[in-house]
Structure 1
């Protein structure tokens, strides 16, 4: 059983500068991503406590070096205050068991219908996405309350030295399903470090 986590954390979102400025002045809102490769399923994605990674991802997306459904012309980073609420927190065992059971149920369902499960292939994490989506549908069918957020560590990149378990892009991802958990946006400081293209040209 997943428990309510009322504390707030800081997340950072990679986006285009025009969208980022609209978020900051309150004239726009982030919309959930719903791609078949989204690792944690549909939702609004943030890097937890990691503006550095948020900026590098925005730069890579602008240079077409990341799998990204939208369009970033000028890389930008927006900070957000996020309340986790009812969180599927995949750094604690109960949440991990929930996802394991969801996979087992999805596998049984696919076998009964003679359908193949999707597979993870590099940045295309179709299997993980399918498992999370199935879990949401299963919870809905069981009249269980929906999750507000999902939180999980992600091992990305290569080992930082021979035999290391640390990877050079290790991070924690947040997937926000309930947008009311986003309490506000801010411009991260120092601005020149985290938003160097606020007043400068970006060269792809």
Structure 2
């Protein structure tokens, strides 16, 4: 079992102000992303313990510098308490082994069907998405296991923090929530002026 802990994390979601306030007031729910290029598969994506990066993304999206199917008009950061539950934690060696095994299983399945393997190209991570989705499908159909509740992975982004560094200026950890029951509640991150100046 790669990672199963009941503990909760503070996570942050980049979105439009109207959506955030509707979610907090129980009038609307967050929709899972279901793009073929979503690197951690389909689900609701959060920044783990990183409200500043969530704000930067929301602001850049509103200016057209970050792509999203739903453009953000008024940038906003929604805080969420997320329980990891049954988590595919991709900093854990056993989880990486599951990932590698899934890749080979997907490759075999696609070759047998006479089709071509999906490929990653820049920000379009179609291969990674396909591997993660294959994990969920095979757990349910072959192993008789339930899909993972969440997926957690580090992501290296941006320029090197300093010359020859392996650290990047925008590296972060993302949580992809598959099971919405893992979202235990929402909040407005403080200080409000820093993370939500549009409130």
Report how far residue 115 of structure 1 moved.
1.2
Q: What is the TM-score with the length of structure 2 in the denominator?
A: 0.97
Report how far residue 190 of structure 1 moved.
0.3
1:14 counterpart SS class: strand
Name 2:12's counterpart in structure 1. 12
Report how far residue 161 of structure 1 moved.
1.5
Q: Deviations over 1:33-72 (max 9, x none)?
A: 1001111010001000000010111111111211211121
Name 1:93's counterpart in structure 2. 93
Are the equivalent residues in 2 in contact too, given 1:80–1:182 (CA < 8 A)? yes
- Determine the C-alpha separation between the residues in 1 that align with 2:175 and 2:120: 19
Alignment of 1:136-151 (within 5 A): 136-142=136-142, 143-151=144-152
- Determine the C-alpha separation between the residues in 2 that align with 1:135 and 1:146: 8
- Determine the C-alpha separation between the residues in 2 that align with 1:90 and 1:3: 9
Are the equivalent residues in 2 in contact too, given 1:67–1:123 (CA < 8 A)? no
1:82 counterpart SS class: strand
Q: What is the TM-score with the length of structure 1 in the denominator?
A: 0.94
Report how far residue 30 of structure 1 moved.
0.6
Name 2:73's counterpart in structure 1. 73
- Determine the C-alpha separation between the residues in 1 that align with 2:109 and 2:24: 44
Name 1:33's counterpart in structure 2. 33
Alignment of 1:40-79 (within 5 A): 40-79=40-79
Are the equivalent residues in 2 in contact too, given 1:140–1:146 (CA < 8 A)? yes
Report how far residue 114 of structure 1 moved.
2.3
Name 1:201's counterpart in structure 2. none
2:76 counterpart SS class: strand
Name 2:107's counterpart in structure 1. 107
Name 1:21's counterpart in structure 2. 21
Provide structure 2 residue ranges, at least 5 long, that are not aligned to the other structure: none
- Determine the C-alpha separation between the residues in 1 that align with 2:92 and 2:179: 21
Name 1:171's counterpart in structure 2. 172
Alignment of 1:164-203 (within 5 A): 164-198=165-199
- Determine the C-alpha separation between the residues in 1 that align with 2:120 and 2:172: 19
Provide structure 1 residue ranges, at least 5 long, that are not aligned to the other structure: 199-204
Name 2:129's counterpart in structure 1. 129
